[in-house]
Every structure is written in structure tokens, then in C-alpha cells.
Amino acid sequence: MPHTMNDKFRLGLVQTACAADPNQNLAKAVWKIREAASRGAQIVCLEELFRSEYFCREENAELFALAEPVPGPTTETLGVLARELSVVIVASLFERRAAGLYHNTAAVIDADGALLGTYRKTHIPDDPCYYEKFYFTPGDLGFPSFETRYGRIAVLVCWDQWYPEAARLAALGGPTVLFYPTAIGWHQHEKEQHGAAQRDAWITVQRAHAITNGVYVAAVNRVGVERTLEFWGSSFVAGPFGEILAQASTDKEETLVVDCDPRQVEEVRRNWPFLRDRRIDAYGPILQRWGA
């Protein structure tokens, strides 16, 4: 029977450590997607920039060589896999759009292997060891939703996850799930003093997006130590009332497989009708940088 809008579907979140060799990382991703599919996952999301170590730790023009066109070699490889397994794949890539023009881009590949579309990361950080403004042009595709074979989804990327505006605009496209491919961790010299609070804030803000928008949120982070950054994993799925349905460890490679029920979105929104009570006539000032 064909999949309908209200049918349950199963999410797969692939949390891994990344090696220096992009081909090794792609091979691992293929293996992990197969594992998730064997456990029933129908929409599988990889972590941010999964093909490489997190190269934004430094500003180095030679690292632009890691970029590739989208569509391109990786989407082609994953497209073949998606079609074979009948799974949807969300893949975060370093996109070379043109000479000197690069994006941090998430590709959505449908279960027939076709590239449904892309989302380009909108909010670009510039912090110690997260020098993304050197590499990435801010996204210019808005906050699209994608009607996949199994359900409607939207994708935001890492630093986007701190912005309620991005979550709201993505949610207004009607997705059941907001995916957040991520690469976030501790500076090792800060971990003892601030680490628990930083990780807790990361989880809390995304649970809040699930609650205020009545959607599932799936955050997919990497693990492992890359020089002075220790990525904290903790990939998780929150339900539309913010409840954590599954969560991975801070330091191990894991694949989470979690059921997602669009009817739960309907149920929560009927009882907590935040979308009904929005005052869209009153929100004009949000377009200003600061108050009057």
C-alpha cells in the first residue's frame, strides 16, 4: 500500500566519529545507513559535514578542496543507495557552488534515489575553532520543506538550531520533523567548568523548538576528539511535546531508530494551539536588528 500523510514512519540518526580520509567517512556512512535501514529506518540523517573531519577549526584556503558540487559524487553514491534500500537520506555536504562560492548544504535524497532538493545553512558562526564564515556563504534558499515518500520534513543545520525564527519558519512549511545535522562539542579547556551547562543548553533549546512548533526534532551530532574539540554526540529525537524519545551517548558511535507519528503532531497542536494564537499582526518589529 502507498504511504499516506498520516502513516507512521521511522527515523534513523547516524552518530559517528570522522576520519581524515573523506572516502573512509563515506564508506562508513553507507554502512551505517544500511544498518539503520535493516532496523526499519525509512528517513536516515547523517551528521553535519560527515565526509570530513570538522575542518572549520582553522582558516586554511587549501581545505576548500574538500568541497564538491551538489548534485555531485556524494549525492550520486547516496542516491544509488537510497534507491536500493528505499530510504530517504539527509546528507550534510560542503557545497562548491562556483569558484570562490561555497555553502554548508544539506541534500535531501528521496527513496527513489532522486535529489529532492537542498537547504543551505543560513546562520554561519564565527567562534574559536568554528571559523565557518571563512568557508561558507549564508544560505539563500529560505527554509523549505520536502515531501518525501514517507513524510514531510525540513532541515536546518547546526548553528541554525539556536534560532527560534529559523525553527518557526521551517515549521510553517508543514513538516512533521525538523532535522538538525550538527557538529558541536566542547573546547577541552572549558569542559570541566562549562561542559554540562553547554550540552544542556543545546538540548533544551531544541526541545523548545519541538514544543513551540508542535513538531518532532531530530538532532544528529558527531563524536570523537579532533585536536582541541571534543564532539559531544548526544544525538536525540524529541517528540512534539518536547519529550526525549531516544538519545545517544556523548562518546560512542551509535545509530538511533525512532518511530515518528504525524497524528501525534495533530494531537499535541489541538491541545496546545500555539499556531492558532500567533499574533502575526504584531510581529513586524522582529525584522529590525534592535528595538526602536
Residues noted as catalytic: 48, 121, 158
Q: Are 198 and 186 in contact (CB under 8 A)?
A: yes
Q: With 0-12 CB in 10 A as exposed, 13-18 as middle and 19+ as buried, what is 206? A: buried
Q: What are phi and psi of 2, to 5 degrees?
A: -65, 150
**Angstrom distance (rounded) from CA 238 to CA 159:** 18
Buried b or exposed e, range 27-65, using 16+ CB within 10 angstroms: ebbeebbeebbeeebbbbbbbbbbbbbbbbbeeeeebee
Question: The C-alpha cell of 163 is what?
Answer: 534560532
Question: The C-alpha cell of 140 is what?
Answer: 539563500
